[in-house]
Chains A and B, each alone.
Chain A
Amino acid sequence: MEMETREKKRIRVEANTEPSESPFEALSEEILFLILDLLDSNPLDKKSFSLVSRSFFAVESRHRRSLTPLRPELLPFVLSRYNSISHLNLTLCPYLSDASLSSIALLLGPSLRSINLSGSRSFSHRGIECLANKCFNLEEIDVSNGVELTDEAAAAIGRMSKVERVRMRRCKKVTDLGIGCIAVGCPNLKLLCLKGCVGVTDLGVALIAVKCRKLRSLDVSFTMITKKCLPAIAQLPNLQDLCMTGCLGINDKALVTLKQGFKSLQALDMSNCQNITQASVSSTLHKYPSLHFLNLSYCCPVNSMLSGLHGVLKLNSIKLDGCHVSADGLKSLANSCISLKELSLSKCSGVSDEAISVIVAKHKDLVKLDVTCCRYITDLTLAAITSSGASLVSLSMESCTKVTCEGFRLIGRHCPKLEELNLTDTDLDDEGLKSLAQCRNLTSLKIGICLKITDEGLIQIGRSCPHLQELDLYRSIGITDKGVSEIALGCSNLETICMSYCTSISDESLKCLSNCARLNTLEIRGCSLVSSVGISAIAARCCNLSKLDIKKCYEIDDAAMLSLAQFSHNLRQINLSYCSVTDVGVLALASISCLQVVTMLHLSGMSADGLAAALLMCSRLMKVKLHVSFKPFVSPVLIDRLESRGCLFQWLNKPFQVQLESSEVWKQQSHDIFVE
């Protein structure tokens, strides 16, 4: 990479002096393509590459295969430059007319392979018909959230004969007729997502199963399907992934009366199917001989079912979130499964040390364990995990309040492979944190609401965990600039950091964090010491910043907004409630072309006119949260105009509350709620 940039600099110098004899003109297209292949990680690199010369520009245009445009009105221009785009992601274009789609279809034509329209509104079946007519090589289409799309749109998809992956979540107006058109017209279909398509019934799904024999993945979550379509689905020879979350029409009878099993099924998700019981599940488990993953979260009590798992030899991942399990049930799970790799018992009542100990003793391959909110877990569990020789990669034990420093020490000593660790709301202290620093592979560490930790422990983390990408220090009030600066020094790959309500944090921390060039998410809600200086430092150096939460940072004013407007071209989402920002700052912010989600409550310095001007400038907005008191002062014409482009207005009526609650009180309150 560095070589590249050096080269480019040289090119520029030479191009100025001897434009006609640039040695880089001699580079063949293949070589340039190879170089471009290596530049995929950072979008800005490609931009600078294309600025080298005309030929580089042309080569970059020809090389690019995927595009995520931000402004639909520029699409014709952009696409006439990048005319070999095969993957088009339009999720950032909330307003996309049929005309835009028709121009896409014309300009890209057969080269388009994949299009994602899941974030767009305002287009209709006409646009999809244009795609169907021109882009006959289309393999993947995502029209999720097209709540206004009708059967005509589905019929248009049905005319794309080569399409293999169709996602249509929440297309509520699509009925069996539309699905029938897809079933008949798309014989190559491999993936179909009908999640939340409430108009679809057994008939449509059964027809899909009859006609699309290549189907591998089917998601019929939150639809009205019943047992009638299951036999047809079971006939699918290649089905690997079946998701039936929240299908209330699936009951015991549906499972039990099913004569044949799902021979090829590898992943089955029946979470939130509240009308099935463990008896039917356990008696039918043998019908899924190839199952790898089973999700029965929030489904039914599962105790007796767990002993039936021995029939499913390949099962290695189970999710039982929110189910009631007993120690005996978990023991039989341990005995009946052959090799368990992932186990999720989040919010399960009845999980005990003993049960977990039995499981980890049996299953040494366990990689991922989630015992969130299993409040009866103590150090004994951790002792069992660490002594069994299991090498966990991911451990989540949020709100396991009985675990003590000793337990954390065990984790640090015996889980060197740990990458993800969630210890939010536990009794973690500095000693424990120091031990955890031995897990050098950590990429994600969540230690929010750990009131006992201080800089001492955090410094240790910063020094020994260089791969850390995500750090959550929410309400860990013992943290100060000293610890954060050590993190910023040690963890240069940091992408996400949350320091909300760490009230001791000041501009110093942000200045240090600005060294983390990859930082894209910064949450410093309620850090009242932070001023515009810190934000300006971040804005100037973290050019990938896309999400910023500075609510109740009272010191931050227009200066921060101006520097954000100047440098942070990738900012997508910002919350600046309670900041000391005036019309000037808001207008400056509005000039950021990427900005999509803005929350501006209780901005004392903002006037209705300033808001109106800002809204007029911000044409890309998708969601704006404003105080309801502004509503009468903003022209309804303006609001209509923005709404017609896909912007959503939320008028909130939150009371003005300056005083910050102390985190100790807050934590105590949250615990009181649990006890009740």
Chain B
Amino acid sequence: MKQTIGELGIELSSDSKMDLKLTRNSESFHNPNSSNYNLNSFNQAPQYFPNLSPTNFLSRAENLQQNLKTKSTNTFEPNLNSGMATQNPPLDWDPHAMLSNLSFLEQKIHEVQSLVQSIIEQQAEFSSRPSELATRQQLATADLTCIIIQLISTAGSLLPSIKNTLLSNNPALRQLVNPDFNNNLKCEGLMRNFPETAKNSEYEDLLRNLDNEADWMKEPNPPPESDIVDTNPIDEHDLKESDDGDAEREHLPPGSYIVLQLEKEEILAPHTHFCVICGKGFKRDANLRMHMRGHGDEYKTPAALAKPSKEPGSDAHPVTRYSCPFVGCKRNKEHKKFQPLKTILCVKNHYKRSHCDKSYTCSRCHAKKFSVIADLKTHEKHCGRDKWQCSCGTTFSRKDKLFGHVALFQGHTPALPMDEVKASGSGQGNDEMTEDLGGYNGNFASEECLTGMDVKGIDESRAYFSPMNFDGFGALDEFGRGGFDLEDNPFAFIPSGFGQRSGDS
């Protein structure tokens, strides 16, 4: 079993053409920089449980266990693993302890992250005080080592023989298993204790392997499609990157950030945060954390409830970007002008908007369709209130958008609001009517001239015109209203009205 772990590490470092899934497994296993642990563990789930629904989702601990099992089953040592599955009963190890270990890891990673962030932010100051930078670096290295040890011990806990030997011989590691253990000082104590432990050869091997892997990562030509994460983010390389990298996040140099690519199924899964105990899914981590309180007192600690990244300005993922799984898309990492997506939410919205059917139809206008339900809700807030309309029938919620549209296209005219259009009636009818009236008016006026009764004449003419001009149109208007079902579709007759107008001119 010890050998297995060693082999695993060696294999990871040596095999440069790793299967994508495998890399992700290794990443979830090794990457201390991966802040969203939930995500990483979740990433694998749909591949193996495609029909999994959030309600009966496995607990996080089981999930992890499954991952580890399947990983070894599918890739490395099928025989050994099948033997393991039969030999070891599933509850040979304590899932609660495992969970607490993972939570600790998560927090630790965040700590390191904020530390690195602070180093980046205070670069200028450090240039004048190099000693302080060195201290910080040491601190980060210490934290990272702690994380690695924790990781290994967590993984080791799955292997009974190691666990037993380790825990029995190393009090520091036993301490690590304790869920309340999250103290830096203790961790440093661990670091000091570590070399003194009698049976640390396996860990030294592992660490060496990890170092090798880091060296491999620093090689000039890393595998281009690699999703692999830097296992050691606080190395010289990274610091340099951030030194000349005051470039904006949009223009991160390729390679300076980690590209994660979720599969289609993962993206379309409705939730991203799952309760490890009951499997309930949440859209936001904060909601999950609040939910976790219901599962027991241990989740009510300030640390458990705290936001994963404590510094608001720390931009939780300075070096993590996402790729769209749709090949050919500009957001896909294969694309020449690849533009990564910033957050997992961006991935989801982008994928749904760009590569999915628009299945949500607006219940008001029955015309607009959306693939993201939030878009639909936003639209429904304004639907029917698009008062800015173009002669082509397009409506806009904002006047400047309409004018931008009109400026862009030849022959498009701003349309006047509904009531005015209705009042004027159709242009054609108006013309004919006035033509008749005008003809009559000519005769009439000359008669009036002869009689010389100005006052009376003009009054009569007004009386004559008014019913035709106004009442007549009123009737026409009513007719129009009866003809079209306004209730159903308020814009139904606009295009026809405009057709007539353009026909006139």
Contact = CB atoms under 8 A, between A and B. Distances in A.
Interface of A: 71-77, 80, 95, 97-99, 102-103, 105-107, 125-126, 129-130, 133, 150-152, 155, 158-159, 161, 176-178, 180-181, 183-185, 203-204, 206-207, 210-211, 619
Contacts of A97: 461-462, 465
B505 A203 contact: no
B454 A99 contact: no
B469 A98 contact: yes
Contacts of A80: 442, 446
21 contacts: A74-B445, A77-B445, A95-B458, A97-B465, A98-B465, A99-B437, A99-B441, A102-B438, A106-B439, A125-B424, A126-B424, A129-B431, A155-B413, A177-B416, A180-B406, A180-B414, A203-B403, A204-B403, A207-B406, A207-B407, A619-B455
B138 interface: no
A207 B504 CA distance: 23
A73 B504 contact: no
B480 interface: no
Interface-centre pick from A95, A99, A125, A159 (highest chain B CB count, 10 A): A99
A593 to B, nearest CB: 9
Given A177-B416, A180-B413, A76 B407 contact: no
Given A98-B469, A207-B403, A152 B416 contact: yes
A126 B445 contact: no
Given A105-B434, A129-B431, 10 more contacts: A75-B445, A76-B446, A77-B442, A103-B438, A103-B441, A103-B445, A130-B431, A133-B431, A161-B505, A177-B416
B92 interface: no
A152 B424 contact: yes
A15 to B, nearest CB: 25
A105 B449 CA distance: 20
The majority secondary structure among interface residues of chain A is: helix
Interface string B378-416: 000000000000000000000110010011000111111
Given A102-B437, A129-B430, A155-B416, A176 B448 contact: no
Interface string B435-461: 101110110111011000011011001
Tell me what chain B mostly uses at the interface: helix, strand, loop, or mixed: helix
- Most chain B C-beta atoms within 10 Å of own C-beta, residue among A106, A150, A211: A106
Given A74-B445, A185-B413, A126 B430 contact: yes
B420 interface: yes
B420 A152 contact: yes
A47 B417 CA distance: 49
B120 to A, nearest CB: 35
B308 interface: no
Contact of B438 (A106, A180, A206): A106
B407 A106 contact: no
A77 B400 contact: no
Closest 3 pairs (CB-CB, A-B): A76-B445, A106-B438, A180-B414
Contact of A184 (B406, B444, B458): B406
B401 to A, nearest CB: 10
Contacts of B439: 106
B420 A73 contact: no
Interface centre among A72, A98, A102, A184 (most CB of B within 10 A): A102
B497 interface: no
Contacts of B411: 184
A72 B455 CA distance: 12
A77 B446 contact: yes
A159 B427 CA distance: 11
A146 to B, nearest CB: 16
A95 B455 CA distance: 12
A105 B448 contact: no
B431 A158 contact: no
Nearest to A98: B469
B492 to A, nearest CB: 21
Nearest to A160: B505
B360 to A, nearest CB: 32
Given A99-B465, A106-B439, A181 B414 contact: yes
A126 B473 CA distance: 12
Contacts of A158: 413
Contacts of B448: 73
B189 to A, nearest CB: 62
A72 B400 CA distance: 42
Contact of A185 (B415, B424, B449, B505): B505
A125 B434 CA distance: 13
Contacts of A176: 399, 403, 414
A326 B285 CA distance: 70
